[in-house]
Amino acid sequence: MIKNLIEQKRKEYERRRKMEVAKNVAKGTVLGTAVGALAGILFAPKSGKETRKEIADKSKELSENVKVTVQDSMTKTKEFTDKIVTDVKTNVMAMKEKNMKATKTLKDELKEETADVLEEVGDGMVQIGEAIGEQADELKKEIK
């Protein structure tokens, strides 16, 4: 149980670390694309019409890059979530199975103990019956 708790904490830490990495990648992509587009526009000797078209094109490209990065992050997050759900279900099933085995073992032990006690009680009853029979025989002899 402690091992499972430690493993869950480790997985939670890994999940948080991966989410941070994904966020940083997304931020870096957006920032890099924006800086690159801005530098290209500022240093390119083009007309206003060409510059506006380039800005529109770069904006679309930036938007597409952000979409791809977000989709990748969402896919990784979904895969990670699915893995966590699967792991939790597996652990729950394992614990249920373990509990069922323990319960069955306890039931079997209880049955054995009960059978032993009943056997001892039966033996005691036989001994009591024999003792009563002997006492009855002695009383009959004394009465005669």
- In sequence order, the 6+-apart residues with CB closer than 8 A to the CB of 34 are 62
What are the pLDDT tens digits along the chain (144 aa)?
A: 788 878 888 888 888 888 888 888 888 888 888 888 777 767 767 677 777 787 788 788 878 888 888 888 888 888 888 888 888 888 888 888 888 888 888 888 888 888 888 888 888 888 888 888 888 888 888 776
Amino acid at position 15, single letter: R
Tell me the C-alpha distance between 56 and 54, whole Å: 5
